Amino acid sequence: MIPAPHLILSWILSTISSVTSAPASAVTDSDQLVLGTKQPRPLVIWHGLGDTALSSGISSFVEDIKSIHPGIFVHSIQIPQGGSLDDERRAGFWGNAEEQGWAGCEQIASIPELKGGFDAMGFSQGGLFMRFYAQYCNDPPVRNLITFGTPHFGISALIPCPTPPTLSCLLAARAARAGIYTPYAQSHIVQAAYFRDTERLDEFWDVNTFIRDLNGEKGLGGDDGDEDDEKGRNGSGLGIEGLDNFVAVIFDQDRTVSPAQSSHFATYSPLNKTVIVPMTDQPMYIGDWIGLKSLDEKGGLALEHCPGEHMDLGGEGGCGERMVRDWVGWKE
Ligand SMILES: *[C@@H]1O[C@H](CO)[C@@H](O)[C@H](O)[C@H]1NC(C)=O
Ligand SMILES: *[C@@H]1O[C@H](CO)[C@@H](O)[C@H](O)[C@H]1NC(C)=O
């Protein structure tokens, strides 16, 4: 999200220099010789707020994944497809989150290499879009979903603008402050689509659709008062219990996402912002509205930790690399 490309970059640069002694091509050849037709599962990445599909940070990250898992196919989602770098950066702040989600579905469905299923990795805000794909589209299906610092239960305060701030970010923040739960903000500002103010939950349930429905909370608020809605789970689509694994990574020093524990489906208590309600106490988990509990019970939920600040992947041999080795590139 607020990317720390220098951190990703430093990891990549050091890793790339460490593999120069063993050329990647040699590794690929012997790999194919031994394993025959078995290929690492493809990977789709959805970048974070303010970043672009092929920024230097993301490109280097992808190169590093390819050196760890020779032969892997990697696609980085670009919104809008074919847009300029400015269009892409702007789309992280401005736009209709659901439309961006559907655009991602189309983009993924159009890529032949992904037809047999793939692993999905979302950086911060990008992790919500990946979950949107898994819950509403999922054709071809996501197998392992890995999210880094993704506010799965929303944010209670805006993400701070980067230093120096970009105009897109400043304008989006100003518009958001003017009225986050207005129909305008909800359909035009991406962060508004996952802004879940625990002190204004009735308004949130009334007007929000994106993260409310991703978490099966439709019907808790106004809506149409349909009795069926009160059961929860309505609107959450396919749910996520069909994933092989869901790896949700929290950054232990995260001061960007509020609360940071949202990366693990925790929220502030509705009554008291000094209290955090853990995932297992959330009605959404207890009632299994999106299949999170089912997935957990079958051993498919991994709540992982990275030690640093938001999106600090930890350099060579660090947390980002560990996740790539553990959860990506499985041969099949
Ligand atoms: C879901 O909500 C819609 C309208 O919002 C309603 O018509 C439908 O019956 C609900 N379905 C369930 C399973 O609750
Ligand atoms: C919030 O919770 C904390 C910790 O339990 C408690 O000390 C504090 O008094 C609570 N505040 C309110 C307003 O209830």
pLDDT of residue 233: 59
- Kindly report, residue by residue over 279-330, the tens digit of the pLDDT: 999 999 998 999 999 999 999 999 999 999 999 998 788 999 999 999 999 9
Q: What is the CA 264 to chain-centroid distance, rounded? A: 12
Q: Which among 113-127, 216-230, 233-247 has the top mean pLDDT?
A: 113-127
Residue 195 in tokens? 């802004």
For residue 193, is it within any domain?
A: yes
pTM of the model: 0.85
Residue 34 in domain? no
Q: What residues have CB less than 8 Å from 87, skipping those under 6 apart?
A: 80
Residue 321: which domain range?
Answer: 49-327
Lookup: tokens for 49:
């707020």
What's the mean pLDDT in 43-51? 95
Q: How confident is the model at residue 34 (pLDDT cuts 50, 70, 90)?
A: low
Establish if 30 belongs to a structural domain.
Answer: no
What is the per-residue pLDDT for 317? 86
Spell out the residues 6+ positions from residue 23 whose beta carbon is closer than 8 angstroms to its own: none
Q: How many residues in the chain?
A: 332
Residue 175's pLDDT is 86
Higher confidence at residue 263 or residue 220? 263
CB-ligand 2 contact for 270 (6 Å cutoff): no
Does some domain include residue 15?
A: no
What integer pLDDT is reported at residue 38 of this predicted model?
86
Buried b (16+ CB within 10 A) or exposed e, 313-326: bbbbebbbbebbee
Does residue 283 fall inside a structural domain? yes
**Which numbered ligand comes closest to the C-alpha of 270?**
2
CATH of the domain at 149: 3.40.50.1820
15-31: average pLDDT: 35
Has residue 236 been placed in a domain? yes
Q: Give distance in angstroms: CA of 274 to centre of ligand 2.
A: 7
What mean pLDDT do residues 23-40 have?
A: 54
Flag whether pLDDT at 6 surpasses 80: no
- Ligand with smallest separation from the Cα of 222: 1
75 annotated active-site: no
Do residues 249 and 305 lie in contact, with contact meaning Cβ atoms separated by under 8 Å?
yes
- Asked if residue 260 belongs to a domain, the reply is yes
Does the beta carbon of 182 sit less than 6 angstroms from any atom of ligand 1? Answer: no
272 Cβ below 6 A of ligand 2: yes
CB of 229 closer than 6 angstroms to any ligand 1 atom: yes
- The pLDDT score that the predictor gives to residue 33 is 52
pLDDT of 85 > 80? The answer is yes
C-alpha 319/C-alpha 12 separation (Å) is: 13
Among residues 55, 76, 124, 263, the one annotated as catalytic is 124
Residue 236: pLDDT band with limits 50, 70, 90: confident
**What value does the mean pLDDT of the chain take?**
86
* pLDDT at 219 (0 to 100): 72
Instruction: Kindly report which listed range (18-32, 43-57, 78-92, 141-155) carries the lowest average pLDDT score.
Output: 18-32
CA of 221 relative to ligand 1 center, distance in Å: 13
The number of folded domains in the chain is: 1
Cis amide leading into 259 (omega within 30): yes
The label of the residue with tokens 């032969």 reads: 71
Residue 226 pLDDT level (bands cut at 50, 70, 90):
low
Q: Is 310 a catalytic residue?
A: yes
* Domain presence at residue 23: no
Residue 230 beta carbon below 6 angstroms from any ligand 1 atom: no
Is 124 designated active site?
yes
d(CA 277, CA 265): 9
Say how far apart CA 279 and CA 295 lie, in whole Å.
Answer: 13
Measured in Å, residue 121 CA sits from the centre of ligand 2 at: 37
Active-site residue, from 213, 229, 254, 312: 254
Interval 59-84 mean pLDDT: 96
Q: Which of 220, 223, 224, 234, when mutated, tests ligand 1's pocket best, judged by the most ligand atoms within 8 Å of its CB?
A: 234
